[in-house]
Chains A and B, each alone.
Chain A
Amino acid sequence: MKTTRSTAPAPTTQDEYTVDVFTVVNGAPVQWRIDTRTTLLEALRDSSGLTGTKRGCDQGACGACTVHVDGARVLSCLMLAAQADGRQVTTVEGLVGEEGQLHPMQEAFVRHDAFQCGFCTPGQLMSAVCLLREGRAGSDAEIREYMSGNLCRCGAYDNIVAAVREAAGGGA
Chain B
Amino acid sequence: MRAFVYDCPDAVDEAVASVAADPQAAFLAGGTTQLDLMKDGVWTPDRLVDISRLPLRGILVESQQLKVGALTTMEQLAAEPVVAQRLMFVREALLAGATVQLRNMATIGGNLLQRTRCRYFRDPTVSACNRRSPDSGCAAVDGVARMHAVLGVDERCIALHASDVAVPLLAVDSTVLVSGPTGQRRVPLSEFWVRADEGPSIENVLGHGDLITEIDVPLLPNGWRSGYLKVRDRASYEFALTSAAVALQMDGDMIADLRIALGGVGSVPWRAREAEEMLRGTHVDPVRFEQAGRAVMASAFTVPGTAFKVDLAVRTLSRQLLTMTEATP
Contact = CB atoms under 8 A, between A and B. Distances in A.
A85 B53 CA distance: 10
Most central of A19, A78, A134 by chain B CB within 10 Å: A78
A148 B237 CA distance: 6
Given A79-B35, A144-B236, A73 B52 contact: no
How many chain B residues sit at the interface, stated as a range, is: 20 to 34
Contacts of B3: 9, 12, 17, 35-37
B73 to A, nearest CB: 9
Interface residues of A, number: 34
Given A36-B3, A149-B99, A80 B31 contact: yes
B31 A78 contact: yes
Given A82-B6, A149-B100, A149-B101, A60 B236 contact: no
A17 B39 contact: no
B10 interface: no
Given A80-B6, A144-B236, A58 B39 contact: yes
A85 B5 CA distance: 16
A83 B53 CA distance: 9
Interface of B, secondary structure class, is mixed
A9 to B, nearest CB: 7
Interface string B18-33: 0000000000100110
Nearest to A134: B100
B122 to A, nearest CB: 10
Given A19-B6, A39-B35, A75-B102, 13 more contacts: A58-B39, A60-B35, A60-B102, A78-B32, A78-B105, A79-B105, A82-B6, A83-B31, A83-B52, A127-B100, A134-B100, A149-B98, A149-B102
A119 interface: no
Interface in A61-94: 63, 66, 72-75, 77-80, 82-83, 85
7 contacts: A58-B39, A63-B101, A73-B101, A80-B6, A80-B28, A80-B31, A149-B99
B5 A16 contact: yes
Contacts of B255: none
A66 B104 CA distance: 11
A130 B100 contact: yes
Contacts of B104: 72-74
A18 B52 CA distance: 19
Interface of A, secondary structure class, is mixed
A17 B99 contact: no
A59 to B, nearest CB: 5
Most central of B6, B8, B36 by chain A CB within 10 Å: B6
Contacts of B38: 37
Contact of A78 (B1, B8, B35): B35
B6 A73 contact: no
B308 interface: no
Interface string B80-99: 00000000000000000011
A146 interface: yes
Nearest to A73: B101
Contact of B100 (A37, A60, A73): A73
A74 B105 contact: yes
A113 interface: no
Interface in B45-71: 48, 50, 52
